[in-house]
Amino acid sequence: MSKRKVRDSHLPVGECVSQVQRILRERFCHQRLPDRLEGLEAQHKHLFELLKRTAVHGESNSVLIVGPRGAGKSALLGCVLRELLQETEAQRNLLEVRLNGLLQTDDRIALKEITRQLHLENVVGDKVFGSFAENLAFLLEALKKGDRSSSRPVLFVLDEFDLFAHHKNQTLLYNLLDVSQSAQAPVAVVGLTCRLDVLELLEKRVKSRFSHRQIHLLSSLTFPQYLQRVRAQLRLPDDFPDARFAQDWNAGVESLCGDKSVEEVLQRHFNSNRDVRSLHALLMPCLSRVSASQPNIRPADVLDAGRLCLADAKANVLHGLSILELCLIIAMKHLNDVYEGEPFNLQMVHNEFKKFLQRKSNSMYNFEQPVVMKAFEHLQQLELIRPVDGSASRTQREYQLMRLMLDHSQVMEALQKYPQCPTDINQWAMSAFA
């Protein structure tokens, strides 16, 4: 009876909104693993059997999980490990070491991280090792409880696997795969990467020790499924304290996803990025606008969040430029139009700018050559222009060939939003001929 009373109780709107904020923020930020991965059953079964043979039977393996960002590589591995660790024997035996190519940028840092995660700092102490292989062999030997059958299996997860291929001599990869192949200790090496050509990056000696097992993930998500995912991310659970508020909220979510303008925003977002994390980045600004006075997400909130997520970073940089720097960008745009994207130099840009000044007879924009050069260098620092590859560094700065890293539409869009842009500069930018 008491549970029913709690279920039927009506909380103040402010408290309901706080609960909504807490539940959805936790859902968006914590990236919890799904109960099951749809469409990846075969890959799940393959990886589970592979890791089970290591965790339970002490068999060494190596495998690569390959797929685009957001395809579910980490989620697949997480779901397999969650299921595997529910088995008593695997939970008691398996040790995990997680490395990331973005963090462990060389083999020395990687070895230190392996030692830390295996809690072997005291065992290593101040020992001096002749090579990386000796150090790794010592770490694995320290894990043994007796014979090989009672050695604890170790799972090495290498995220951003392709970045480890850029380490000097690929020492880490060679030694991990060598241990795996030679069965010195029960070891499983799982690499996660976005690069389809990752095997081409490996040296011959490393490639020969890899099992060449690959699990490919391809995103087969359709837009109706994507819309369903949006609904699922925004819906409140059945055990929400205020049943009536949850019912109204969920009805509002259905209405929101059925709105044509919202559907267009979601379609654009779907076309550019199907990653769940990207979807959370779109929904979070919408959630932040929910309040006691506005207890639902409105279509206008989604439109604003869509504009924020799809904002062009380079076009935003243009809004902070000085008038001179903006004029140089317009001159470069005209040079690109006339010469069909051929590289230019500072002298050409300055001459184009002078033509504009002569036509307008406006001394207001008449700058000295050193000032123009300083503005040009600032544009290069902002990476709005860059030197042509292979251009000689000994060439005078005025004649060094450059390329504009903006297209026509980006320049025009930035000009429309530029605060108090002079009319004559706007007209110059829109004119077909410089």
Residue bearing the bigger pLDDT, 361 or 350:
350
Among the listed residues 123, 201, 134, the one whose alpha carbon sits nearest the alpha carbon of residue 161: 201
Residue bearing the bigger pLDDT, 145 or 91:
91
Element (H, E) at 385: strand 385-387
CA 303 – CA 256 distance, rounded (Å): 11
Report pLDDT for 191.
94
DSSP 321-335: --HHHHHHHHHHHHH
Length of the chain: 434
**pLDDT tens digit string along 395-408?**
677 788 888 888 77
> Average of pLDDT values for 22-41?
80
Report pLDDT for 65.
94
For residue 257, give both structure tokens. Answer: 């996803």
Q: Tokens 């697949």 — which residue? A: 76
Cα torsion 269, 272, 278, 280 to 10°: value is: 10
For residue 22, give both structure tokens. Answer: 């807490």
For residue 127, give both structure tokens. Answer: 């020992």
Residue bearing the bigger pLDDT, 198 or 37:
198
Q: Where are the alpha helices (DSSP H) in 94-201?
A: 107-117, 121-124, 132-142, 161-164, 171-182, 198-201
Residue bearing the bigger pLDDT, 215 or 152:
215
Does the structure show a pLDDT above 80 at 264?
yes
User: In the structure, what pLDDT confidence band is assigned to residue 362 with cuts at 50, 70 and 90?
Assistant: low
Does the structure show a pLDDT above 50 at 38?
yes
DSSP 127-147: ---SSHHHHHHHHHHHT--SS
Report pLDDT for 5.
46
**pLDDT tens digit string along 379-398?**
888 888 888 865 555 567 77
Report pLDDT for 405.
85
Does the structure show a pLDDT above 60 at 432?
no
User: In the structure, what pLDDT confidence band is assigned to residue 47 with cuts at 50, 70 and 90?
Assistant: very high
Residue bearing the bigger pLDDT, 237 or 365:
237
DSSP letter, residue 344: B
Does the structure show a pLDDT above 80 at 15?
yes
176 near 135, Cβ under 8 Å?
Answer: no
> Average of pLDDT values for 243-269?
89
**pLDDT tens digit string along 92-110?**
778 889 999 999 988 888 8
**pLDDT tens digit string along 174-186?**
888 888 887 777 8
Q: Which domains does the chain have, with CATH numbers?
A: 41-216 (3.40.50.300), 221-309 (no CATH), 315-430 (1.10.10.10)
